[in-house]
Amino acid sequence: MIAQIHYNSRKYSIDLTKPIDISIALDPKKENVNAWYIGPPKIYPVSTDEWTGSVAQGFDVNFNMIEFNPHSHVTHTETVGHITETVHSINQHLKQHFFLTEVVTIAPEAKDEDFFISKRQLQYALGNKKRDAIVIRTLPNLEDKKSMQYSNTNPPYMLEEAAIYLREKGIKHLLIDLPSVDREKDDGNLLSHNAFWNTSGKLRLDATITEFIFVPNTVEDGTYFLNLMIAPIENDASPSKPMLYKLE
248 pLDDT higher than 90: no
Which H or E run contains 194?
A: helix 191-197
The chain-wide mean pLDDT, for the chain, equals 96
> b/e per residue, 85-97, with b = 16+ CB within 10 A?
eeebbbeebbeee
What's the sign of the alpha-carbon dihedral 199, 68, 151, 107?
negative
End-to-end CA distance of the chain: 11
Cα separation, 148 vs 204, whole angstroms? 31
- The pTM is what? 0.96
CATH superfamily to which 2-28+70-246 belongs: Putative cyclase (3.50.30.50)
How do the domains of the chain map onto residue ranges?
A: 2-28+70-246
Q: Quick one: pLDDT at residue 10? A: 82
8 pLDDT higher than 80: no
With cut-offs at 50, 70 and 90, classify the pLDDT of residue 6. Answer: confident
95 pLDDT higher than 80: yes
Tens of pLDDT, residues 130-182: 999 999 999 999 999 999 999 999 999 999 999 999 999 999 999 999 999 99
With cut-offs at 50, 70 and 90, classify the pLDDT of residue 195. Answer: very high
Q: Residue range 58-66: average pLDDT?
A: 96
Q: Quick one: pLDDT at residue 92? A: 97
9 pLDDT higher than 90: no
